[in-house]
Amino acid sequence: MYHLTALVTLLAIVFYFFTSINVSRSRTRTGVKVPAMSGHPDFERAFRIQMNTLEWMPIFLPSLWLFAIYISDAAAAGIGAVWIIGRIVYFIGYSKAAAKRGPGFAIQGIASIVLWAGALGAVVLRLV
């Protein structure tokens, strides 16, 4: 069973939901009306945090699950937790200034690459 990976998946979804709520709150706080996508730097950063998280989820989630299936539920969940931590660091940094998004981006990017490369390696090994 993949209980730990399922938990990390649910936590990633909760984090994405949080970023969506943050965009809505930012619209209210900054006066950026729907459907505008720009207008105030604080809103634009909140929106980019949400969109960047969404852009990475199709890379992260399949890699997470394939890693869990082919390698280890616990290892996948651990690396997946690092991805979530990276997204939180990204959120905190980018919320302050665009220039501060780098460390969180690097953390989540490395976690995603490890999951993807591990899954790919495990699948290829089973094919040969």
Average pLDDT value for the chain? 98
* pTM check: above 0.95: yes
Give the pLDDT confidence score for residue 92 in this predicted structure: 98
- For position 18, what pLDDT does the model report? 98
pLDDT at 127: 98
Q: What is the pLDDT of residue 110?
A: 98
Expressed as residue numbers, the domain containing 7 is 3-127
CB proximity list for 77: less than 8 A, separation 6 or greater = 4, 5, 7, 8, 68
CATH number of residue 58's parent domain: 1.20.120.550
| pLDDT, position 3 | 98
| pLDDT of res. 16 | 98
Cα distances (Å, whole numbers) of residue 100 to 33, 47, 49, 88, 91: 26, 16, 12, 12, 9
Q: What is the pLDDT of residues 55-112, one digit of tens each?
A: 999 999 999 999 999 999 999 999 999 999 999 999 999 999 999 999 999 999 999 9
* Structural domains of the chain, count: 1
- pLDDT at residue 116, as a whole number: 98
